């Protein structure tokens, strides 16, 4: 799986010299992670948790590509060598003076296949040369540019393969342990000096889970925390709490843009087997589920039928689509529970036969509940 980090020439040079990638909002404190009494605006908090989720999604071994603004070029390719960590937004934020900004959500990287020259945005996104089918266009990045405000975004495996082929064309592979960026030549070059990354590595996953439970207990919106939590589960060996256990997750996306109108799938996963692809579309609700969710899921299914599935179908795969809802359940017996049960039964029994074919099967919608358990939330399959 591959991810794009948006940088400028100054931050790109530091990323290369110290072999890390990061994002963050310089004007937003990270103290709220450690102290629930600190209040942020809803927009600021959602943005911060969203950026953390973007970086937390990345697994060791995933590929990292940089897009350098100002010159509009893609550079790479590197590989994630650590999990996500926090470097707080304070005076000790590592390299903030050299970077010219504060980057709080980070991970370490190492060289994979590092090419000297960048790939222009035109060649990567605008050129239709060698494009035979609409689904071969790099829609993930085109949508990202329309939506903006994403310092780190994922791309599909097919989009990564296309970028790699374009990047290595008429380019030079650099084999070195240390790298830097030549601003005048706009090239990656070997670095004669070796830098050791000495920044802080704070693991805040437990704190964020605690904050989620606090939001739940005080009846405040927490869907953004819920997304972070589910991403950490899908990355782990416990992914089978949500997905089929047949095959580990090969691709995880959060806030997957699936229309020009900025409609987003909360979480999407791909499990790849021999001639079979399982795609899960996960809708998150920090409240009880409602029937209108069927319309949302229908929109997601129509989108993947047009933009994600064609390349798999051309390569002979059979495809299973799993609509999944993760929402609050009601544990006590009551009239309210009876009403929720009725709504959920209607959702689970909804027929997706309209989208089925000899190669594509949309399975019945699965509903997973989260329930309080001591000082945390737990998932329960009903």
pLDDT tens digits along 77-99: 999 999 999 999 999 999 999 99
Q: 369 Cβ partners below 8 Å, 6+ apart?
A: 326, 327, 328, 329, 379, 380, 381, 382
pLDDT tens digits along 19-58: 999 999 888 899 999 998 888 888 899 999 999 999 999 9
Q: Domains, the chain, ranges and CATH? A: 2-190 (3.10.590.10), 205-381 (3.40.1350)
Give the C-alpha separation, 56 to 235, whole Å: 9
Sign of CA dihedral 375, 376, 381, 382: positive
Cβ atoms within 10 Å, residue 358: 6
Please give the model's pTM, rounded to 2 decimal places: 0.94
pLDDT of 141 over the 90 cut: no
Distance, CA of 209 to CA of 213 (rounded, Å): 6
Are 65 and 74 in contact by the 8 Å Cβ rule? The answer is: yes
């Amino acid at each position: 799986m591959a991810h794009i980090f948006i940088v400028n020439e100054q931050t790109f040079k530091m990323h290369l010299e110290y072999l890390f990638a990061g994002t963050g909002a310089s004007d937003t404190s990270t103290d709220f992670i450690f102290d629930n009494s600190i209040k942020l605006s809803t927009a600021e908090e959602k943005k911060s948790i969203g950026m953390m989720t973007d970086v937390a999604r990345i697994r060791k071994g995933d590929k990292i590509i940089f897009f350098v603004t100002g010159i509009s070029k893609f550079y790479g390719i590197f590989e994630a060598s650590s999990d996500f960590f926090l470097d707080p937004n304070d005076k000790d934020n590592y390299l903030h003076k050299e970077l010219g900004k504060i980057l709080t959500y980070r991970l370490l990287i190492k060289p994979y296949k590092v090419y000297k020259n960048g790939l222009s945005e035109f060649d990567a996104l605008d050129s239709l040369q060698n494009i035979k089918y609409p689904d071969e266009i790099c829609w993930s990045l085109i949508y990202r540019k329309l939506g903006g405000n994403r310092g780190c975004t994922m791309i599909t495996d097919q989009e990564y393969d296309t970028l790699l082929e374009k990047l290595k064309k008429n380019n030079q592979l650099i084999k070195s342990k240390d790298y830097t960026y030549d601003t005048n030549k706009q090239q990656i070059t070997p670095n004669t000096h070796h830098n050791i990354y000495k920044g802080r590595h704070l693991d805040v996953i437990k704190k964020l889970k605690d904050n989620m439970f606090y939001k739940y207990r005080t009846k405040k919106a927490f869907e953004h925390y819920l997304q972070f939590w589910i991403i950490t589960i899908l990355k782990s060996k416990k992914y089978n709490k949500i997905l089929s256990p047949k095959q580990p997750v090969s691709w995880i996306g959060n806030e997957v843009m699936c229309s020009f109108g900025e409609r987003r799938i909360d979480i999407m996963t791909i499990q790849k087997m021999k001639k079979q692809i399982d795609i899960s579309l996960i809708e998150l609700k920090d409240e009880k589920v409602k029937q209108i969710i069927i319309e949302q899921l229908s929109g997601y299914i129509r989108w993947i039928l047009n933009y994600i599935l064609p390349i798999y179908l051309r390569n002979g795969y059979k495809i299973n689509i799993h609509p999944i809802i993760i929402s609050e359940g009601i544990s006590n017996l009551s009239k309210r529970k009876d009403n929720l049960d009725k709504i959920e039964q209607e959702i689970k029994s909804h027929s997706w036969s309209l989208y089925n074919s000899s190669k594509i099967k949309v399975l019945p919608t699965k509903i997973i509940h989260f329930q309080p358990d001591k000082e945390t939330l737990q998932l329960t399959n009903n």
